[in-house]
Amino acid sequence: MSGIYIHIPFCRQKCTYCDFVSFPNRLNFAEAYMACLYKEAEMRGKELEKIVFDTVYIGGGTPSVIDPKYIYGLMKQISKCFHLTEDPEATIEMNPGTVDAQKIALYRRAGINRFSVGLQTARDDQLEELGRIHTRADFVACCKLLKGMNFSADIMLGLKGQTKEDVRETIGLAEQNGATHVSMYALTPEDGTPIYTDYLNGELPDGDEVAELYDFGRTLLKEKGYLRYEVSNFCKPGFGSRHNMNYWKRGEYIGLGVSASSFFFGRRFTNTFDLDEYMKCILSGHFPVIESEEVEEKDAKFEFVMLALRTVFGLSSKAYAAQFKSDWKKDFEGAYARTKEYLEETGDTTRIKDEFLYVQNRILTEFME
């Protein structure tokens, strides 16, 4: 099955760590942008009319800052232009403090059945430091609106002064308020973002400290009944994200909107990161693609190995052989020998041992031969 990703690039303000394509001062362009998205959906839909899609993911930015009528219209347009399964998973990202009961009701009427809420941390002083627009209380209020629904909480590790107690508090808050899923990512201080100065000044936890926080969080999530199904993703049984699983299985997906990337028919391609350029291209009936490349077999093999090893399901020799007609241990002989002590094998499947999950990036780098 394939997925559809749609990028909504508007935010109320820029977080201090944000390196995503998001524009805090251009909310007045929302209507024009959404009209372009509807058009891009129509153009791509014609190309992909034979493909069946199983997931829709509306990310950003903060999709919940725009008028919900556009999300409603977008979902209608997606179901008109693409062939969706009978029961697609449809997710929207949102930030606490940007939604109310009417918005959620309209999202649900539009067919959205999964929500991804940016919590990051339960501590208000840390939220303020990150430039987030919300407080802990806003998160709790948001969860009340989502009571009984399928929703994920995003949390972040590696914040200035963050302790294990903070991680406990944050995971506890997500769980007590009904999150069915938790995504736990380490903060990446990107050059050019305000938080990068804190990193240069040595004010952020170092790699070993973040690894400890991750292990602490991972263990706590397990105790609370969240199963790890990918390095950074944990869910209550039955609540894994189908959309993300498609990425990790190297499934195909189409991206719509500024900066969105796609993987289809063996090619990876990316839309322009420039909002005006995006709209100009679409209005003149052209795809706003700035990069497009065919994935060579060598890269496809590496992607397959890397993505599979990130998941709890691991790397299946049979699945690899079925796709590439070869043996992954032979194709990556050197890397396999160098990383064997970090791996465990059950039947035909290889996984990274739990205790080495946090250094998975270092392990996976070995496979970039």
- Told to check if 11 binds ligand SF4 by CB under 6 A, we report yes
- Told to check if 187 binds ligand SF4 by CB under 6 A, we report no
CB of 327 to ligand SF4, least distance (A): 42
CB of 73 to ligand SF4, least distance (A): 22
CB of 243 to ligand SF4, least distance (A): 18
Sheet holding 343-346, edge to edge: 315-316, 349-352, 343-346
Write b or e for each residue in 259-282: b if 16 or more Cβ atoms lie within 10 A of its Cβ, otherwise e: bbebbbeeeebbbbeebeebbebb
CB of 204 to ligand SF4, least distance (A): 16
* Distance (Å, whole) CA 58 – CA 6: 5
Nearer to ligand SF4, 186 or 308 (CB): 186
Number of residues that bind ligand SF4 (CB under 6 A): 10
Helix (H) or strand (E) segment spanning residue 83:
strand 83-94
* Distance (Å, whole) CA 88 – CA 11: 27
* Distance (Å, whole) CA 57 – CA 114: 9
Show the site string, 38-77: x = touches ligand SF4 by CB under 6 A, - = not: ----------------------xxx---------------
CB of 132 to ligand SF4, least distance (A): 7
The one among 14, 39, 242, 250 contacting ligand SF4 by CB under 6 A: 14
Nearer to ligand SF4, 16 or 270 (CB): 16
CB of 99 to ligand SF4, least distance (A): 13
- Told to check if 95 binds ligand SF4 by CB under 6 A, we report yes
Write b or e for each residue in 204-229: b if 16 or more Cβ atoms lie within 10 A of its Cβ, otherwise e: bbeeeebbebbebbbebbeebebebb
- Told to check if 26 binds ligand SF4 by CB under 6 A, we report no
Contact 6, 56 (CB under 8 A): yes
* Residue whose structure tokens are 């400290």: 209
**Per 3-state DSSP, what percentage of the chain is helix, strand, and coil (rounded to 5)?**
45, 25, 30
Summarize as ranges the residues that interact with ligand SF4 (CB under 6 A): 11, 14-15, 18, 20, 22, 60-62, 95
